[in-house]
Every structure is written in C-alpha cells, then in structure tokens.
C-alpha cells in the first residue's frame, strides 16, 4: 500500500504543469544493497531552449550483487506537453565487496524509443572511490549501439563524473560533469560535444524520501547555457 501511495503521488507530479529539461541522466554508482527498492521521479528545465523532459523510475535489488530498474520518459511535442518518449530496462551488477573503498560495476541497458528513432543497447562501466569518510568520487564510461529503424553506425561514447561531500546523514553537496563524444565512426571535437558541469545538492528525510536538485552549465558551444534539475525519491 505504501508503494502504491508513493507511485500515485509521483504520477500526480508528472501531470502537473512543470517546465522541465533534456538531461535527466545521473552519475550512477555501482553499489547494490540487498533488500532495497525505490521509486524516483526526475525532471529538468532547459531555460535557453524552453524544453523539458521527465522520467519515472522503479528499481529493486535481486540480491546483494544485482539490481533491476525500469524507466519511462516523456517529452514535450506538438501534440502534447507530456508525450511518451522512451522505455528503458536496466540491470546493475556490483562487482565489489561491501566494505571496499574502491567499488566498480557494470550496467546493461535496453532502450526503446518512439517516433521511428533508433533503439539502442548500452553497456556502462561504473567506478566509485571513497576518498575520505565524507568525500566520494564517481566516474563512469558509457557505450551504446543503435539497432532498428534509422540505426546509426559506430559505438556512441559518453563519460560522467561527480565529487560529493556528505555533511551529515541528511545533506550532501557536490558537483557533476557530463560529456558526450559522439560515435566511434565520427568522434566530435570539443565545441560539438554536449559538455556540462554544475553543482548539486541532495537532502534525505528520515521517512525514506529524498530531494535532489542542481544546475548544469554548458562548457562547449553546442551545449545549452543552463539546465535546472529536480529529482524526488522514495526508498522502501
């Protein structure tokens, strides 16, 4: 019943008149905790292009090493402000021991798009290092291959990183970086890449809810000047 109530709350947010953005991705880590499940709503607003995107996650661990997640995304189109954009299925594999300072893992994706856009398979390599008790660093490389109608050639490459400081059990502050390099068939120069950097904050409540917010600023010519992001999460 608690899960149903939380899902209803998040779906209500989805149909509310929010202005949101293109980059709803995150710097995800390799850690998988047994007996864990969560629902998450993500939104962001691109001020320069006045565009928005949003997505809904549900994730649950199979054991202490594997976790699955499903993602549904929407976007603004001429027909609707909240048109279906994609469905994605993900599988996380934690390759480290629970008490390791350096942790690593893999994530596999199956991403299905609408509107005759190509689908893709993804394989991503995650790294996380506990610098000190309160400081942590994440870095991940992402690779995807198109399939289906209008599939593009090559392997598409991305990299993401974050550094986070945890003040206490509730509040964490940090910075995140995102870069998209294009296809191995035609790697992009810096000015043509989507390259973004910005501050983030996360606050966790005692009842299992948490709020994440941040701003991403464009570092390259092709990147938009700023995107504002908001996530709401309920852990069970």
Q: 21-76 pLDDT, tens per residue? A: 378 999 999 999 999 999 999 998 888 777 888 999 999 999 999 999 999 998 76
What is the four-CA torsion angle of 110, 156, 52, 236, rounded to 10 degrees? 40
Read off the DSSP letter of residue 38: E
Q: In which domain, by residue range, is 117 found?
A: 2-235
pLDDT digit string, tens, across residues 145-154: 999 989 999 9
Q: Is 170 left (phi over 0), alpha (psi -120 to 50) or beta?
A: alpha
- Residue 2 in tokens: 């608690």
Total tally of structural domains belonging to the chain: 1
| CATH number, domain with residue 215 | 2.40.160.40
pTM of the complete model: 0.86
Report the candidate in 124, 71, 114 with the shortest Cα–Cα distance to residue 93.
Answer: 124
């Amino acid at each position: 019943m608690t899960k149903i109530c939380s899902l209803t709350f998040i779906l209500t947010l989805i149909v509310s008149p929010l202005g949101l953005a293109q980059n709803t991705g995150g710097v995800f880590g390799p850690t998988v905790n047994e007996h864990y499940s969560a629902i998450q709503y993500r939104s962001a607003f691109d001020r320069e292009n006045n565009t928005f995107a949003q997505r809904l996650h549900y994730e649950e661990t199979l054991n202490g090493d594997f976790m699955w997640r499903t993602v549904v995304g929407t976007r603004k189109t001429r027909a609707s402000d909240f048109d279906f954009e994609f469905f994605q299925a993900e599988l996380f594999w934690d390759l480290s021991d629970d008490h390791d300072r350096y942790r690593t893992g893999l994530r596999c994706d199956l991403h299905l798009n609408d509107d005759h856009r190509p689908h893709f398979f993804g394989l991503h390599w995650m790294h996380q290092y506990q610098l000190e008790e309160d400081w942590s660093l994440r870095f991940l490389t992402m690779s995807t291959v198109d399939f289906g109608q209008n599939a593009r050639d090559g392997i598409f490459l991305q990299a993401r990183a974050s550094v986070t400081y945890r003040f206490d059990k509730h509040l964490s502050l940090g910075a995140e970086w995102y870069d998209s390099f294009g296809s191995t068939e035609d790697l992009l120069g810096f000015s043509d890449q989507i390259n973004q950097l910005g501050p983030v904050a996360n606050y966790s409540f005692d009842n299992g809810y948490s709020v994440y917010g941040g701003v991403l600023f464009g570092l390259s010519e092709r990147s938009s000047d700023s995107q504002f992001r908001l996530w709401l999460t309920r852990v069970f």
